Amino acid sequence: MPFEKLPQRHLFPSAPAPARPPLAGLSTLALTGLMPLSLLFCSVPTAAWAQAPQVMQGSAQSQTVDPPGRVAWLDLVEGAVSFESGGPDAAAGNQWTTAQPNRPITGGDRLWTGRNARSELHIGSTAVRMGGDTRLDLAQLDDDTTSLRLPQGTINLRVRALFEGQRLEVRTPNLAFVVQQPGDYRLDVNPSANTTRVVVLSGAGQVYGDSGVPFALGDRQQSSFTGTQLAQVMLPGATIADTFDAWASERNRLEDQSVSARYVPREVTGYQQLDAYGDWREDPSYGAVWFPRAVPSGWAPYSAGRWDWISPWGWTWIDNAPWGFAPFHYGRWTQIGPRWAWAPGRLAPRPVYAPALVGFIGASGNGASWNITAGGGRGPGPGPALGWFPLAPGEAFRPHYYGSPRYVSRLNNNIVINNNVSINSYRFQRMPGAVTAIRTEDFRRGRPVMGSGIVSAEDLRRAQLVDGNRGLPQGPGTQASAGNPRPQGGLLPPAVNAGSTGFGGGRDPGRNDREQLTGRNNFNDFNDRDQAERRARLEQAQRQQRQQQQQQQQQHELQRIQSPQPGFAVMPSAGSSPQENGPSDSRVNRDRNGRPGFDLPQWQNQRQLQLQNEQLRRQLDAQRRLEIQRREPESIGQQALREAAQRDEAARRGQMLQQQKDQAAQRAREQATQGQARQAQEQQRQQMQRAAQSGALQRQPRPQESPGVQGGRARPDAGMNRPQRSDGEQRRQPP
């Protein structure tokens, strides 16, 4: 069956459920490190402004489907990166604009990473990293499906977790790659050759083509496929890493060391920037809280940024801070002492994204609310104005867009909502330092908000809460955006913009032909109007490019004729011979018709110049990366690793010192034992000497006995005949 006759709705089978549990991608520290917040379990009444609306504003009024619980976030831009919105509210002929930090990216949006540029996109815990000259479209993004379209370029995927029932796929012009296990993947698309290279650095996946028979790839396997029949141009084998893989690996290493992942689930989009811009602490009332660093005096949450209408959520807050994504779309804000702190609370493993967790006060309109008049200084000036304040822990958020009771319950995890009680006061509602206000017209136009407006205490006392469905300004609808017809960093090639069919309108893997329905190819998800507009823009861009090329060729040819350079062939003029104008005509290549082609030496010189420029660019890129690493401040994770290494070094030194002490004590004991042994030997030797001397005395001859001596001894009767002396004589005897 022809490729273009197959419907889009039978694209891929659901990916099999992963063999790991649903929480496999969430670390144990992230689960055990979250302390239950007592305030989040209390029953919080819902205010009048937060009643669930029945319809949505703007172009989404008829929507009755819950919005997605996930969005994408562009967290790193190196070079020229362009963005084009593809949502239902995008203007006809929407144009490319410079990618904005912290703007949520959802289904239908498109990104272009220019030449020599790089970018990084996060969808929960999944990281998508793009190389230069890469076009990436988010074909579908919801709670269960992530479908990416890669018309050209290079991407690297880090998939940390696949929950039960989730599917992640990448569609290229000639195939579809379905991720089946967490891991690291790379895809390279060459649209001119209709070739896709799939590299599985770790994990497992399947490649689908027109035949419907999957081609499996495992750890450290790669293969290149050309055409929709998956003709292999390179057999599976060991992967070959390059500088792009090294860059992605380094980004993964830094993310693996994140300290914030101990306090929030990795599915919280935007947690990666918290380590470098704030500190975590434990609070007895709120559990783990995060304090931002280097905020200006008088700063308050939701006070520096702007509002933008993004379907299907409507008004969405876009903060200016580099860390300003996760703290403004998850959790709550509170004040601990004089400082603001973000309290994420006990988030679910798969938390639900919210456009802005605030309450609105003082909008003008139907007379149900008071107007805030803030004059002078930094305030919005007299007149109708709109103010907002951050919700505190335990305060429920009811969206101003459509949401089913189940969606609202998931959005307010662990907060019991009582719809039977209505209150008109919240913790930060009447706190001047927590309320930000601007003109209602500035709010509707999405103008930047720089600091909170000065709102008097009397205005705050009189201001009323605003019903998000009726009190907020209407959305811009299909308001045209100011942009360019082409992205920055180079034109898209014809294979990308020409509305080519590509893969996806083909046979559904595993289905019979009888189940296929005849229909037009809808792989690119564009209607006829979009395709016509894109073709018109492409043709215009191609005409401009051809004109520029022709002008450059004419100028170059004129320069060659007027100013010949040594070693370059010069085209002979009419009526002259080759010898009159320079080297022989043999140095100029000619085609079959005899027309002059290109100058071979000049082409060689140009090629050498291109290689030199490429080498210089690589050197500059390496120097830039080293400079970025040198200037990058030490994150909390790096500090923790450094302190842990210092503790390990101190422990190692202590063990070495203890070992030295033990060895010295052992040597002392051995010396004492040896001294005792020598002393005993000395005593034994002395005893032996005395014994020998005694034996020698006994063997000597006896001397002649004197009178009164018998046998060397005095006779007993020797003194019997001696006269006795008186006591006086004995005392007078000298001693």
SS (H, E, C) 160-205: CCCCCCCEEEEECCCCEEEECCCEEEEEEEECCCCEEEEEEEECCE
- Provide the 3-class DSSP secondary structure of residue 496: helix
Domain-embedded: residue 383: yes
Number of domains in the chain: 2
Per the structure block, which two tokens stand in for 223? 């293969």
Which among 410, 440, 462 is the end of a domain? 462
Q: Is there a single domain that holds both residue 100 and residue 231?
A: yes
Which residue in 552, 568, 549 sits closest to 560, CA to CA? 568
Exposure string for 340-352, b = 16+ CB within 10 A, e = fewer: bbbbbbebeebbb
Its sign, for the CA torsion 35, 41, 45, 51, is: positive
Q: Are residues 239 and 288 located together in one domain of the fold?
A: no
Is residue 485 domain-resident? no
Q: What DSSP string describes 332-357?
A: EEEEETTEEEEE--S--SSPPP-S--
Does any domain span residue 244?
yes
DSSP 146: E
My answer on whether 252 and 321 are in the same domain is no
Q: What is the pLDDT of residues 708-722, one digit of tens each?
A: 555 445 555 555 555
Q: Check whether residue 234 and residue 181 sit in a common domain.
A: yes
Alpha-carbon gap, residue 137 to 310, rounded angstroms: 17
Residue 360's DSSP bridge partners are: 388
Please, are residues 108 and 86 in contact by the beta-carbon 8 Å criterion?
A: yes
- Give the residue ranges of the chain where pLDDT is below 50: 1-62, 363-380, 420-421, 478-482, 491, 493-527, 564-598, 711-712, 726, 730, 735
Amino acid identity, position 234? M
249 and 333 housed in the same domain: no
Instruction: Provide the pLDDT for residue 591.
Output: 41
Q: Does 130 reside within a domain?
A: yes
Q: Strand 205-208 and strand 215-217: pairing?
A: antiparallel
Looking at residue 702, its pLDDT comes to 61
**How are beta strands 176-179 and 167-171 bridged, if at all?**
antiparallel
**Cβ(364)–Cβ(371) below 8 Å:** yes
Are 247 and 180 found together in one domain? yes
Q: Edge to edge, what strands does the sheet with 287-292 contain?
A: 278-283, 287-292, 339-343, 332-336
What CATH number does the domain containing 22 carry?
A: 2.60.120.1440
**ω into residue 312 within 30 of 0, thus cis?**
yes
Does 294 lie in the same domain as 387?
Answer: yes
| DSSP, res 77 | E
698 lies in some domain: no
Residue 536 is assigned to a structural domain of this protein: no
> What global pTM score does this model have?
0.60
Domain span at 288: 278-462
SS3 416: strand
Cα–Cα separations (whole angstroms), residue 328 to 101, 104, 341, 391: 14, 12, 12, 10
* Separation CA 282–CA 165 (nearest Å): 35
Q: How far is CA 662 from CA 289, 650, 651, 653, 658, in A?
A: 47, 18, 16, 14, 6
Strands 43-45 and 416-418: parallel
The secondary structure of 597-660 as a DSSP string is EEEHHHHHHHHHHHHHHHHHHHHHHHHHHHHHHHHSPPPHHHHHHHHHHHHHHHHHHHHHHHHH
Residues 338 and 400 both lie in one domain: yes
- Domain's final residue, options 419, 447, 462: 462
Residues 250 and 316 reside in one and the same domain: no
Q: Is 82 exposed, middle or buried, given 0-12, 13-18 or 19+ CB atoms closer than 10 A? A: buried
- Residue 297 included in any domain: yes
189 & 233 share domain = yes
Q: What is the pLDDT of residues 356-375, one digit of tens each?
A: 999 998 744 444 344 444 44
Assess whether 211 and 341 both reside in one domain: no
Query: Looking at the domain assignment, is residue 295 inside a domain?
Result: yes
Assess whether 116 and 161 both reside in one domain.
yes
Looking at 462, 483, 505, the residue that finishes a domain is 462
